[in-house]
Amino acid sequence: MDIRFHGHSCFEIQGNEGRIIIDPFLTGNPTADIRPDEIDHLNGILVSHGHSDHLGDAIELSKRTGAPIIGVYELTKLCERAGAKAHAMHIGGKFAFNFGLVRLTQALHGSVFEPNGNKNNFEYAGPACGFLLQIDGKWLYHSGDTGLFGDMELIGRRHPLEVAMLPIGDNFVMGQEEAIYATNLLRPKLVIPMHYNTFSIIKQDVSEFKASLERKSGSQGVILKPGESLTLE
């Protein structure tokens, strides 16, 4: 399995049975390493919530590749109205797709529908969510934008996590210390930090985070620059 980081909270995951992208904020993302027109095949587009730095290019990618946008019911219905293909789910539910299993988790955050980044004309898009993924027999967790919450312990207790993708940017999401506390609840083997350094307001020293994480938890930090990938055997 290949987990490739494209900046901010966007990850492309290639497994044995298909390829997905999560929170495809590429256009307008100063850290992104690719353009949406460079992506020609997808089996699923997972969107954690409707903010423009997460919904991003999802609608365009769905129209061009035919891949469904997967997320909470309210957001997917808005995406369908904009011409995308979608698969509606809700928090706590799971579905077996051709590329793997997806379960939606809670996330402590907001969500509005901001197509094309239009912040002056938006609609409520249901609750934000995170994603538990079982791909090639391994469990992955992409938390989406979230604050720390105690039920992360249940996620870790029920699912032997290989990788957790956690935000560290603070202000809108967890900061470094909260992400480390979350790691101790989740108990993943590996932690990939996300949602930092895209904008000045979420500036973080990611090397400091990695060192502190490995000192205070039993997990290993993996820093990926945009375009870099982690291969799981």
Contact assessment for residue 158 and residue 151, using Cβ atoms and an 8 Å cutoff: no
Tell me how far apart the alpha carbons of residues 123 and 27 are, in angstroms, rounded to a whole number. Answer: 21
Tell me how far apart the alpha carbons of residues 96 and 102 are, in angstroms, rounded to a whole number. Answer: 6
- Say how far residue 168 (Cα) sits from the centre of its chain: 13
Contact assessment for residue 142 and residue 46, using Cβ atoms and an 8 Å cutoff: yes
| Per-residue pLDDT band at 34 (split at 50, 70, 90) | very high
pLDDT at 113: 87
> Average pLDDT in the 67-76 region?
98
pLDDT at 116: 65
> Average pLDDT in the 131-150 region?
98
Tell me how far apart the alpha carbons of residues 213 and 166 are, in angstroms, rounded to a whole number. Answer: 12
pLDDT at 118: 62
Contact assessment for residue 161 and residue 192, using Cβ atoms and an 8 Å cutoff: no
Predicted structure pTM score: 0.96
Residue 139 bridge partners (DSSP)? 134, 161
Q: Is the pLDDT of residue 91 over 90?
A: yes
Q: Report pLDDT digits (tens) over 147-198.
A: 999 999 999 999 999 999 999 999 999 999 999 999 999 999 999 999 999 9
Q: Is the pLDDT of residue 137 over 90?
A: yes
Q: Is the pLDDT of residue 120 over 80?
A: no
At the topology level of CATH, where does 2-224 sit? Metallo-beta-lactamase; Chain A (3.60.15)
